[in-house]
């Protein structure tokens, strides 16, 4: 028995994937995704119906702000019951931030939301965008055992499908621009798409026809990357920002930082004032373990929260999401200490 057609909504937000050369001038101009079937007739062979929303204005993803994440979440919520899956076309530069944020904001998601983009414009002969787009559509429409195969927020790029909140853009040059250092791919793509089903997240229930989303993201969340020789002034300046709520502290190795008196004092005082300090490592792979060295233990004693193997993108967007829920201090810390969408491994 052939499966019924899936319906997919493509949301084009901007970025390189949506560019093609003007036939006359050769200049890069935006590609009109509403003409997607004319441009890629092979799409008709996929068992999917496609509709496209193009955001206005489309933006280079370097200009993305939390307001854009809320708008995107609202579009997915408002169209949730009409489609089986969603493909978000996004600039690669900040795609991991947006995709991580959406993984938290789409609270009871039970359908695929696949982010993709490209390094070379879709209208250029050697583009990586065509394959990224077509495979993302196929993944968003895929079903197994009566349910979507990948009912979480994911990111597809160059033959690999990742959990979105585990990804980072690692290369400004290579076509396999994204990595997921601490979590294996949800699917590997060759001649066939091999889904690694045992590591894909599934929702508690598939019964909800409505999607609940978070529309409030907290301000006052900052990132501090430490380095040998960092000045006391810069740390003092960051921790004296008015209305500061949380800092993602990018530390060395397994979560280590200088133990000098001024460093520990600034962090300790901030925590005492109610600022949340979340410790993640600058290393691509591996996890924070604050008990391993004295240099990590001092942070733990100061009240710093362990971020385990979270990416910067996941850490900062999770803090905005969790603090935006306006829960009590204890509940907030509880939400930070547990993975909410598979964003870290304890
Ligand atoms: N600057 C572009 C963007 O992120 C790069 C890309 O799409 O790859 O919007």
- At 91-146, the pLDDT tens digits run 999 999 999 999 999 999 999 999 999 999 998 999 999 999 999 999 999 999 99
User: What per-residue string of b and e applies to 306-328 under the rule 16 or more CB within 10 Å gives b?
Assistant: bbbbbbbbbbbbbbbbbbbeeee
Q: Which atom of ligand 1 is nearest to the CA of 177?
A: 8
Residues contacting ligand 1 via CB (< 6 Å) = 14-16, 60-62, 91-93, 117, 119
Mark the ranges of the chain whose per-residue pLDDT is less than 70.
1-3
How remote is the CA of residue 18 from the centroid of ligand 1, in Å?
10
Residue pLDDT, tens place only, 236-256: 999 999 999 999 999 999 999
User: What are the phi and psi torsion angles at 301 (to 5°)?
Assistant: -65, -25
Q: Which atom of ligand 1 is nearest to the CA of 16?
A: 7
Q: Which of 20, 57, 62, 177 to mutate to test the pocket of ligand 1 (most atoms within 8 A of CB)?
A: 62
Task: Provide DSSP, 261-281.
Answer: HHHHHHHHHHHHTT-EEEEEE
How remote is the CA of residue 60 from the centroid of ligand 1, in Å?
6
Give the per-residue pLDDT at 168. 98
User: What are the phi and psi torsion angles at 39 (to 5°)?
Assistant: -75, -40
Q: Which residues pair with 315 in a beta bridge?
A: none
Q: Edge-to-edge, what's the strand order for the sheet holding 276-281?
A: 221-225, 246-251, 276-281, 305-306
Q: How large is the angle between the packed helices 294-301 and 261-272, nearest 10 degrees?
A: 30
Whole-structure pTM value: 0.96
Phi/psi zone of residue 207: left (φ > 0), alpha (ψ -120 to 50 degrees), beta?
A: alpha
Give the separation between CA 167 and CA 101, rounded to whole angstroms. 12
Is 98 in the active site? no
CA angle 125, 99, 137 (to 5 degrees): 50
Q: Which atom of ligand 1 is nearest to the CA of 118?
A: 8
Helix (H, G, I), strand (E, B) or coil at 8: strand
Give the per-residue pLDDT at 3. 64
């Amino acid at each position: 028995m052939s499966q019924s057609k899936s319906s997919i909504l493509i949301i084009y937000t901007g970025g390189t994937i949506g560019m093609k050369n003007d036939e006359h001038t050769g200049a890069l101009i935006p590609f009109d995704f509403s003409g997607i079937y004319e441009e890629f007739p092979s799409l008709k062979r996929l068992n999917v119906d496609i509709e496209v929303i193009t955001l206005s204005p489309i933006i280079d993803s370097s200009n993305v702000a939390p307001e854009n994440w809320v708008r995107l979440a609202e579009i997915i919520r408002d169209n949730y019951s009409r489609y089986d899956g969603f493909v978000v076309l996004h600039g690669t530069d900040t795609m991991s931030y947006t995709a991580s944020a959406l993984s938290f904001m789409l609270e009871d998601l039970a359908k695929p939301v696949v982010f993709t983009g490209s390094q070379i414009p879709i209208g250029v002969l050697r583009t990586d965008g065509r394959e990224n787009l077509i495979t993302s559509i196929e993944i968003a429409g895929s079903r197994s055992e009566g349910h979507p195969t990948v009912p979480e927020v994911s990111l597809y790029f160059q033959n690999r499908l990742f959990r979105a909140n585990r990804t980072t853009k690692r290369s400004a040059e290579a076509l396999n621009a994204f990595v997921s250092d601490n979590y294996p791919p949800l699917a590997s793509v060759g001649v066939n798409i091999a889904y690694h089903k045992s590591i894909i997240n599934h929702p508690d229930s598939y019964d909800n026809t409505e999607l609940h989303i978070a529309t409030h993201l907290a301000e006052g969340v900052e990132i501090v990357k430490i380095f040998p020789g960092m000045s006391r002034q810069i740390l003092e300046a960051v921790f004296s920002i008015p209305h500061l709520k949380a800092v993602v502290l990018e530390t060395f190795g397994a979560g280590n930082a200088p133990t000098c008196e001024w460093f520990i004092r600034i962090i300790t005082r901030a925590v005492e004032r109610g600022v949340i300090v979340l410790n993640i490592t600058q290393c691509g792979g591996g996890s924070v373990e604050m008990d391993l060295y004295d240099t990590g233990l001092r942070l733990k004693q100061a009240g710093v929260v362990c971020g385990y193997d979270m990416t910067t993108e996941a850490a900062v967007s999770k803090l905005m999401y969790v603090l935006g829920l306006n829960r009590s201090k204890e509940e907030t810390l509880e939400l930070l200490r547990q993975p909410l969408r598979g964003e870290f491994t304890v």
